[in-house]
Amino acid sequence: MIVVASPIRPRRPSGTGWRRWVVLWALLAMFPVLPALGQRGDPSPLDARFEAVRTALLADPAAGLRDSIALEREAARRDGPASRMVAASKWLQAEAHVRLGQEARAARPLAEAIAILRTLRPRTSIEGDALRTRGDLAADAAQVAGALADYQAAYRVYVVTGDRRGQAMALLSIGSLYRQGADYESALRYYGQAIDTYDADPPLLVSLLNNRGNVLTEMKRNGAALRDFQRALEQARRMDNPVFEARILGNLARAQRAAGQGDAAWASVTRGMAIARAADSRQVLDQLRTLAARVAVDRGETALARRLVDEAFADVDLRTTPLAARDNHRNAYAVYAGIGDKEKALAHLEALSRLDEQATQVATSAKTALMSARFDFQNQELRIARLRQDELRRTVAFQQASARSQRMLFAAVAGAVGLVAILLAIGVVTLQRSRNAVRAANTGLNAANVALTGALKAKSDFLATTSHEIRTPLNGILGMTQVMLADPALADTTRDRIGIVHEAGTAMRTLVDDILDVAKMEAGNLTVAPVATDLVATVADVARLWRRQAEDRGLSFVVDTAAAPRRVETDPVRLRQIVSNLLSNALKFTATGGIELRIGVAGDRLRIAVSDTGIGVPADKVEAIFEPFQQADTSTTRRYGGTGLGLAICRNLARALGGDILLDTVQGAGSTFTLDLPLTIVPFPADADADADAETGQGAIVVIERNPIARSMLRTVFAQRVSEVFFADDAVAALNRIAHGDVTAALVDAVTLRAVSPDVDGDLSRLADAVPKGRCVVLYPPEDAATVPVRDSVAVIKPVQGKKLLNMLFGPREGRTDPPAALVSHDA
Amino acid sequence: MNILYIEDDPMNRRVVRDMLDVAGATMVEAGLAEEGLRRIAAEPFDLVLLDLRMPGMDGFEALRRIRARTDAAGTVPVIVVTADTATDLTERCLALGADDVLFKPVAMDALFDAIGRILARKGGDDLLF
């Protein structure tokens, strides 16, 4: 609701200034109503003066006041003290007082004017005007019942005088009272009736359409609201009034936004802002700014939205804004909350809460007053109707008697009804109060929730961002240590030192990963992706990493997977993470003895147990060690290092996988951490055809090749043909492996062998002898085209097609027992 | 073997260059996505390493544009190398057509393994040793 006080009259803190606007407009609208005053007679010179004063009053109320007092004196002299013109002058004085901000002084002349006009026949529209002015004063003073009575009285006068415009204005005023009481249905009815009664007066029509549009928007009837605003806009344009236009454009934009017409809303609000800026109307501009900011957020232009909403509230104290600013705060909150500026959003939410309370109070008192006014009004009607009935039916004597008894009965009924009304009013007020309390509590709760969620999110974001930021320099540290360690020419001491840097960097990376996992845990983002997993291979893989370290420390390391199901459904990455963590802990806290890793099944549960003969855990710390950042005691941190995150993450992961981590420990003797998971066995795919069987997983191949990328390529390419690809660093290792059996082929990179072997030809012969005939393939670089192959091996010049290489190593042989002759050269 | 690395941080570029040097692969570098796309259009690469967070065009958009190409360069193997740890990052990259995702700090073995694996798989009949 775009609400504004009249630019001329001072603003009232209760924010009912829009009524002032209506009055201003009412005064303007009075302009052409000449015959209101002088009825059947010819216009006297006093009538002309009245017109002049009324006009002057708009521009200069002080002068208007003086002139109207002078006019009254003149009229009293000419027509007597209880004349029409005297009353009219008094009314003008009251108007002048109001416009000078002296509402208190307006009451007496107004009362006198009304008193006079009431007695005059025939009735004139000016009586209606005066009643409406008094109604306005009452409404401003929050005396809604009185205001309603006056407006209704005014309406009745206008009906008698046939003044349709006056009727429309009275209906407008009544509608606005209902709107203030949040009774939108009634407000709508009255506005509609007003428009139906008289729509020939542009300013009045604009006001009616604008007000009705606002009520319709409040009732979420956006289509009808848009129609009203469009009509109002056309009228306002014809009247050439930029401030109205800007305000109506604002209301229109609001309704368009509610109706989902984002682009139209943007066009309207920006147009409105342009006009308001040109017309130098700061208040309208600020309201439009907040609305525009809201629309900008809808369109994703958050920077613009922020700028707009910052401008709108520049140098405004949020704690003292009036009720009229409610919508602005609502919009500002939505914008700041949307762009993540929690502090400002909260400030506006508080202001909104304060104003909502105020508005509810105003609405409640208005509603209560309206309800009691309605009862009063109905009582009066009832009384009048009954008195009339009695007069018709009885003689004077009987009438007096029965009237008296009727009146008594009536008073009782009225009293009872009045009591009911009061009780209802109390009920309404109490209900409203408790609803307000709940609403306030909810708002407070919501605000606290918002703040809390924001804080948690901020913490998670901080953890995630920090871990991200640390990874980049770690990339430099660990990247280069890896490169340096890969240099075989590195001096021993340097190698040791770089090894230390590398380990430290690795520890840091583990820490960063753990922190990130904790952040994900807290944000609920820890994900698991169950797939069919080769359980034994996965666990063996992890174990291999730790076996060496354990053996380096002189600890025994046993892996028992005999009872393990081969394929289960679980997340292999997370499983690896948990088992690795448990092994790391076991290793860390065990000085002598050994570590055992056992996989077993218990009913429908899968159990992976890591046992150690280490320091154990004190009984009272058994739960605490699973908390993040807890270890059994701080001395363990100093002696054994670590962050205390590992077990917390493990437990969370275990739970995410549908299980848990169990601990069985004896302090000083050792511990067994058991990962307990639901067991879901995945059968191997039913049938592979015979050919596939024959091709996959048979035997092993030994490869001498030092280039790591080439190794990876070969591993991938050979994966389908053999069950093992063994990379040997030199011929000795290769021959060793071949001696263990099951090797069906050998692939040798000549360059690699030359770099490590003192007797290349000898090695090649031995290798060729060790593998099946013709299955020792040697790759030579292109510049070796003239080399003679060593017997029994197949020589190939690089580059060679992968397919051909596979064929040579694994494909069907041609049945020859002699080694193939000469060099075989294959091109791309 | 010719590998293109699109990455805005010169330190990261140097690290990967030295790593690839260990494996005997040559590296061409591009400091911005736009430059990387130009190079891809100009010469054939065996593999592209791609950072995600770069000023101007980011890695996601660059990946989209690479895969949008209708010539041979559009099918070049792409490995995303990133410090980003968002939960669904791997899925997003794979969905956009990346062949693998590696997380910084880069483990050298993992890099070689991924390169070898992807080249072997994608090489098809043209795979050479």
pLDDT at residue A371, as a whole number: 66
- Residues A665, A684: Cα–Cα separation, whole Å: 37
CB within 8 Å: A709 and B87: no
Angle at CA A549, nearest 5°, toward A543 and A550? 80
- Residues A297, A123: Cα–Cα separation, whole Å: 57
Query: What is the C-alpha radius of gyration for chain A, rounded to an integer number of angstroms?
Result: 47
Q: Is the model more confident about A14 or about A716?
A: A716
Query: pLDDT tens digit string along A237-253?
Result: 888 888 888 989 999 99
CB within 8 Å: A716 and B12: no
Q: How confident is the model at residue A688 (pLDDT cuts 50, 70, 90)?
A: very low
pLDDT at residue A39, as a whole number: 44
- Which chain A residue is nearest to residue B126, measuring alpha carbons? A801
- For residue A200, the one-letter residue type is A
Residues in A 444-483 with any Cβ partner in B closer than 8 A: 464, 467-468, 471-472, 474-480, 482-483
Q: Which of A342-356, A564-578, A683-697 has the lowest mean pLDDT?
A: A683-697
Both tokens of A688, joined, read: 């592979």
Residues in B closer than 8 angstroms to A483, CB to CB, are: 15, 18-19, 21-22, 108
Q: Which helix (H) or strand (E) holds A136?
A: helix A125-140
Segment A373-383 mean pLDDT:
65
Q: How confident is the model at residue B41 (pLDDT cuts 50, 70, 90)?
A: very high
Query: pLDDT tens digit string along A23-58?
Result: 555 555 555 444 444 444 456 778 888 888 888 888
Domain boundary among A612, A644, A678: A678
pLDDT at residue A99, as a whole number: 87
Please enumerate residues of B whose Cβ is less than 8 A from a Cβ of A. 1, 9, 11-12, 15-16, 18-19, 21-25, 83-85, 87, 103-109, 112-117, 119-121, 123, 125-129
SS3 content of chain A, % helix, strand, coil (to 5): 65, 10, 25
Residue A46 in any domain: the answer is no
B85, B88, B90, B115: which to substitute to probe chain A, counting the most A Cβ within 10 Å?
A: B85
Establish, for the pair of chains A and B, how many residue pairs have beta carbons separated by less than 8 Å: 128
Considering chain A, what is the average pLDDT of its residues?
Answer: 83
Both tokens of A124, joined, read: 């004139």
Query: pLDDT tens digit string along A418-453?
Result: 899 899 988 888 888 888 888 888 887 788 777 777
**A798/B contact by beta carbon, under 8 A:** yes
Same domain, A607 and A702: no
**CATH number of domain containing B68:** 3.40.50.2300
Provide the number of structural domains found in chain B.
Answer: 1
Closest CA to A646 of A599, A591, A577, A589: A577
| Cβ-proximal residues to A300 (8 Å cutoff; 6+ apart), any chain | none
pLDDT at residue A727 is higher than 50:
yes
Residue A700 in any domain: the answer is yes
Residues in A closer than 8 angstroms to B22, CB to CB, are: 483, 486-487, 708
Closest CA to A747 of A788, A804, A696: A804
CB within 8 Å: B11 and A475: yes
Peptide bond before residue B105 is cis, with ω within 30 degrees of 0? yes
- Which chain B residue is nearest to residue A523, measuring alpha carbons? B87
Distances (CA, A) of A473 to A487, A505, B10, B14, B104: 22, 10, 12, 13, 9
| Cβ-proximal residues to A155 (8 Å cutoff; 6+ apart), any chain | A128, A167, A170, A171, A174
- Residues A274, A296: Cα–Cα separation, whole Å: 16
Query: What is the C-alpha radius of gyration for chain B, rounded to an integer number of angstroms?
Result: 13
CB within 8 Å: B125 and A801: yes
- For residue A99, the one-letter residue type is R
Q: Are A687 and A594 in contact (CB under 8 A)?
A: no
Same domain, A516 and A584: no
- Residues A617, A668: Cα–Cα separation, whole Å: 8
Q: Are A532 and A567 in contact (CB under 8 A)?
A: yes
pLDDT at residue A320 is higher than 50:
yes
CA distance A173 to chain B (A): 59
Segment B60-73 mean pLDDT:
94
CB within 8 Å: A471 and B125: no
Residues in B closer than 8 angstroms to A506, CB to CB, are: none
Residue A225 in any domain: the answer is no
For B116, the closest of A474, A505, A711 (CB atoms) is A711
Segment A174-185 mean pLDDT:
87
Same domain, A521 and A557: no
Domain boundary among A525, A554, A587: A525
- Residues B63, B79: Cα–Cα separation, whole Å: 10
Q: Are A401 and A212 in contact (CB under 8 A)?
A: no
Residue A496 in any domain: the answer is yes
Same domain, A752 and A821: yes
Residue environment code for A500-524, b if the CB has 16+ CB neighbours within 10 A, otherwise e: eebeebbebbbebbbbbbbbbbbbe
A469, A704, A713, A718: which to substitute to probe chain B, counting the most B Cβ within 10 Å?
A: A713
Residue A548 in any domain: the answer is yes
pLDDT at residue B27 is higher than 50:
yes
Residue A470 in any domain: the answer is yes
- Which chain A residue is nearest to residue B9, measuring alpha carbons? A472
Segment A97-121 mean pLDDT:
90
Both tokens of A261, joined, read: 């017409």
Both tokens of A168, joined, read: 């429309």
Same domain, A498 and A626: no
Same domain, A429 and A472: yes
For B120, the closest of A472, A482, A717 (CB atoms) is A717
Provide the number of structural domains found in chain A.
Answer: 3
CA distance B49 to chain A (A): 15
The partner residues of A569 in beta bridges, in order of sequence, read A532
Query: Cα A590 from chain centroid?
Result: 50
Considering chain B, what is the average pLDDT of its residues?
Answer: 92
| Cβ-proximal residues to A423 (8 Å cutoff; 6+ apart), any chain | none
- Residue indicated by tokens 């091996």: A793
CB within 8 Å: A478 and B107: yes
CA distance B93 to chain A (A): 17
- Residues A268, A261: Cα–Cα separation, whole Å: 11
- The three-state secondary structure class of B82 is strand
Residues in B closer than 8 angstroms to A712, CB to CB, are: 112-117, 120
The partner residues of A597 in beta bridges, in order of sequence, read A559, A610
Query: pLDDT tens digit string along A652-680?
Result: 889 889 899 999 999 888 999 999 999 98
Q: Are A670 and A587 in contact (CB under 8 A)?
A: no
Q: Are strands A567-570 and A531-534 parallel, antiparallel or unpaired?
A: antiparallel
**A717/B contact by beta carbon, under 8 A:** yes
Query: pLDDT tens digit string along A772-817?
Result: 888 899 999 888 877 677 777 888 888 888 888 888 888 887 554 4
CB within 8 Å: B129 and A710: yes
pLDDT at residue A198 is higher than 60:
yes
- Residues B16, A759: Cα–Cα separation, whole Å: 35
pLDDT at residue B18, as a whole number: 96
**CATH number of domain containing A618:** 3.30.565.10
Residue A117 in any domain: the answer is no
CB within 8 Å: B104 and A471: yes
pLDDT at residue A584 is higher than 60:
yes
pLDDT at residue A281, as a whole number: 82
pLDDT at residue B87 is higher than 90:
no
- Which chain A residue is nearest to residue B120, measuring alpha carbons? A713
CB within 8 Å: B115 and A709: yes
pLDDT at residue A701, as a whole number: 92
Segment A539-554 mean pLDDT:
86
Q: Are A541 and A579 in contact (CB under 8 A)?
A: no
Q: Which of A24-33, A47-56, A284-293, A470-479 has the lowest mean pLDDT?
A: A24-33
- Which chain A residue is nearest to residue B1, measuring alpha carbons? A709
pLDDT at residue A823 is higher than 80:
no
Same domain, A713 and A732: yes
Q: Are A158 and A166 in contact (CB under 8 A)?
A: yes
Q: Are A214 and A254 in contact (CB under 8 A)?
A: no
pLDDT at residue A312 is higher than 70:
yes
Q: How confident is the model at residue A726 (pLDDT cuts 50, 70, 90)?
A: very high
Domain boundary among A507, A525, A543: A525
- Residues A237, A415: Cα–Cα separation, whole Å: 53
- Which chain B residue is nearest to residue A516, measuring alpha carbons? B85
Same domain, A544 and A606: yes
Q: Which of A67-71, A491-495, A516-520, A609-613 has the lowest mean pLDDT?
A: A516-520
pLDDT at residue A581 is higher than 60:
yes
- Residues A284, A265: Cα–Cα separation, whole Å: 16
Q: Are A517 and A526 in contact (CB under 8 A)?
A: yes
Same domain, A538 and A657: yes
CA distance A230 to chain B (A): 44
Both tokens of B1, joined, read: 């073997």
For A709, the closest of B18, B105, B112 (CB atoms) is B112
Query: pLDDT tens digit string along A604-620?
Result: 999 999 999 998 888 88
The partner residues of A549 in beta bridges, in order of sequence, read none
CB within 8 Å: B11 and A527: no
pLDDT at residue A668, as a whole number: 87
pLDDT at residue A722 is higher than 70:
yes
- Structural domain span for residue A390: 380-525
Q: Are A180 and A145 in contact (CB under 8 A)?
A: no
Query: pLDDT tens digit string along A348-359?
Result: 888 888 888 877
- Which chain A residue is nearest to residue B19, measuring alpha carbons? A483
Residue A212 buriedness (CB in 10 A; 0-12 / 13-18 / 19+): buried
Both tokens of B4, joined, read: 């293109």
Q: How confident is the model at residue A528 (pLDDT cuts 50, 70, 90)?
A: confident
CB within 8 Å: B116 and A478: no
Peptide bond before residue A122 is cis, with ω within 30 degrees of 0? yes
- Asked if the ipTM is above 0.85, the reply is yes
Both tokens of A118, joined, read: 């009431």
- Residues B52, A605: Cα–Cα separation, whole Å: 42
Q: How confident is the model at residue A345 (pLDDT cuts 50, 70, 90)?
A: confident
pLDDT at residue B69 is higher than 90:
yes
Q: Are A729 and A756 in contact (CB under 8 A)?
A: yes
pLDDT at residue A795, as a whole number: 86
CB within 8 Å: A482 and B16: no
Closest CA to A604 of A561, A569, A651, A558: A569
Q: Which of A30-44, A70-84, A413-427, A728-742 has the lowest mean pLDDT?
A: A30-44
- Structural domain span for residue B65: 2-126
- Residues A156, A39: Cα–Cα separation, whole Å: 18
Q: Which of A393-407, A421-435, A596-610, A693-707 has the lowest mean pLDDT?
A: A393-407
Q: Is the model more confident about A392 or about A644?
A: A392
Q: Is the model more confident about A362 or about A255?
A: A255
CB within 8 Å: A715 and B128: no
Angle at CA A609, nearest 5°, toward A607 and A611? 165
Both tokens of A822, joined, read: 């000469």
Q: How confident is the model at residue A395 (pLDDT cuts 50, 70, 90)?
A: low
- Which chain B residue is nearest to residue A506, measuring alpha carbons? B105
Residues in A closer than 8 angstroms to B125, CB to CB, are: 801-803
Same domain, A419 and A493: yes
- Residues A217, A223: Cα–Cα separation, whole Å: 9
pLDDT at residue A825 is higher than 60:
no
CA distance A815 to chain B (A): 26
CA distance B65 to chain A (A): 25
pLDDT at residue A480 is higher than 90:
yes
**CATH number of domain containing A726:** 3.40.50.2300
Percentage of chain A exceeding pLDDT 70: 86
- Residues A254, B72: Cα–Cα separation, whole Å: 53
Residues in A closer than 8 angstroms to B46, CB to CB, are: none
pLDDT at residue A444, as a whole number: 78
